[in-house]
Amino acid sequence: MVEGRVPILRNGRPVSSSISIFDPIVGRGDGCFEAFRSYEGRPFGLAEHLERLARSAAAMDIPLPPIPYIGEWARRAAAEQGDGVVRIYASAGTEEEGPSLYVMAAPLPEIEPDYRLLAVDAPWHPAGADWELAGIKTLSYAPNMAATRVAQAAGFDDALLISRDGLVLEGPTSSVLWAVDGVIETPSLDLGILASVTRRIALSHARRHGIEVCEGRYPLARLSDADEVATLSSGREVKPVLAVGKLTFELGPLTALLAGAYQAEVEDLLRG
């Protein structure tokens, strides 16, 4: 059962608040998805999220309805929800019913003002390996959610995923960046991390403000040199990280700048 006051749309038509147990989305986690914020009924970054959905679906050989239709269904769900999160799920469906695409919205879950992360090994992550689904937003997030539970059981808010050879990757549902001597560093997309819309916006604003940005492959030990750390996602926006394991940080000027720039884009959306 999927709860929410906005009806679920399946291929554009309202259905009951459930998804069939026979859909491979449920039985196998075989599908792709997108999730993005709705502010006062207006979806944020919808075009980029739809572009990424199309890439994910193509990589998984999942037929999609025309993208303009999906965009209209997403806008409808956002308008009915108001403030919240809109989610789109796509799968190849069953032989009887064919491909399925669901659009739904729900209230925003609780977002912390700052985060404490625990480094958790992620042996399932491609971490730069040549794999057709690297960087694709699939529904198979069980290992990521397990990593979050490991971190929370240890008293942290979330996990920071680390590759087999000790490289910083991303959060289970977020991106990460940090600053060393005024330079922003972040794991590069060739590691197979998600091409986060929020990450793209934040790095764009950093460069616009003349801040050097380095995307690369960094060991966990590199965070010992960091002056500040931030976690980024559509739900969280840009939030400071106050701890990574035993390392502690404070809200720094670059995180504050990027958070403010992101909020300015939200305000532009609402004014528009």
Q: What is the pLDDT of residues 149-197, one digit of tens each?
A: 999 999 999 999 999 999 999 999 999 999 999 999 999 999 999 999 9
How far is Cα 75 from Cα 87, in angstroms, rounded to an integer?
Answer: 11
The pLDDT of residue 238 is 98
pLDDT at residue 126 above 50? yes
Give 104-113 pLDDT, tens digit per residue.
999 999 999 9
How far is Cα 103 from Cα 84, in angstroms, rounded to an integer?
Answer: 13
- Which residue ranges make up each domain of the chain? 8-106, 115-271
Q: What mean pLDDT comes out for the span 98-118?
A: 93
Q: What mean pLDDT comes out for the span 23-29?
A: 86
CATH label, 8-106, candidates 3.30.365.10, 3.30.470.10, 3.40.250.10, 3.10.150.10: 3.30.470.10
Q: What mean pLDDT comes out for the span 232-254?
A: 98
Q: How far is CA 50 from CA 4, 19, 146, in A?
A: 22, 21, 27
Give 60-95 pLDDT, tens digit per residue.
999 999 999 999 999 999 999 999 999 999 999 888
Buried b (16+ CB within 10 A) or exposed e, 96-128: eeebbbbbbbbeeeeeeebbbbbbbebeebbbb
How far is Cα 182 from Cα 145, in angstroms, rounded to an integer?
Answer: 33
User: What number does CATH give the domain 115-271?
Assistant: 3.20.10.10
Say if residues 137 and 52 touch (Cβ distance below 8 Å): yes
Two structure tokens written together for 111: 């977002």
Helices (H) and strands (E) in the chain, counts: 6, 14
DSSP, collapsed to helix, strand or coil, labels residue 242 as strand
